[in-house]
Amino acid sequence: MEIKHDKWFFDKINNNLMQLHAIDGVMYSGKTKFQTMEILHSPAYGKVLTLDNKIQSSQVDEFVYHEALVHPPMIAHPKPEKVFIAGGGEGATLRELLAYKTVKKAVMVDIDKAVIDISKEHLPEYHAGAFDDPRAKLHYTDARKFLENSKEKYDVIAIDLTEPVEEGPAYLLYTKEFYKIVRDKLTVNGLISVQAGCASYLELLNLKSVKKTLESMFPIVNVYQADIPSFGGAWGFCIGSMKIDPSKLSAAEVDKRIKERGLTNLKFYDGITHQAMFCQPKHIRKALNRGARLITDDSPLYLYESKGL
């Protein structure tokens, strides 16, 4: 079969596996204060955002990732009014949170202002005007320090960060010490959701280590997953809570809450999807409880070396 494309983006999955994406345009390429950033155009996925040479989202399937991160905790909470995002530069997580009319304030903290500014210009489909919503409060600083110094408490805290890379901006936001800060800043019914990396059978180190680390702080922790084609397959998420278990919600109850809360633009998430995401196959369930690491400030988890992506 003839391959006509002559430009390719190499997305490293691990030392033994590389995913190639044909590229027919570059909308932006540069280096911010914290990381390299590109916005590419793919014939398969449309606009593609990459940070430090890793795909963060694509125009065709970003809705899967962002709805999966946001809606399970938001639907599980009885009335989310104040929410917090760590990271989320392209604005799509903010977009999904602000879809809830109950939300009175959405605080988004991303250390890299350049990513937000460039996303505002080149990725309007992602944020869909969310940055201009008066309920949105943006801060350009370290999310951990901001949260630690905040006097407010939040109903949902969404951790939408890059994977933990040595010398990268995010690795200290995956640790036990950070999750303690989060726990202390949640309301009584509060929940944390975390994008936790690849959920493929051979690439579970980050997911199972995030799970174990959250379990050191929260009595209720759930792993769930969604298939994201531009990421190469199954992607993992974790939810932690002191009181609420989202996995116990029936499909009918989820659909009822979606209707009550006026969510009319969902493409991926509904009651059946909610239940399916929390159903892990047997070999994954077993693997998630085997060989997990506790991530701490003194012993952080690096998925890649900073110069070895």
**From CA 188, how far away is CA 165, in angstroms rounded?**
32
From the candidates 52, 61, 112, 160, give the one annotated as an active-site residue: 160
**From CA 280, how far away is CA 86, in angstroms rounded?**
27
CA distances from 185 to 12, 131, 242, 300 (A): 35, 23, 12, 22
**From CA 9, how far away is CA 54, in angstroms rounded?**
10
**From CA 296, how far away is CA 278, in angstroms rounded?**
26
- Check if 132 is active-site: no
**From CA 76, how far away is CA 187, in angstroms rounded?**
14
Name the residues annotated as catalytic: 160
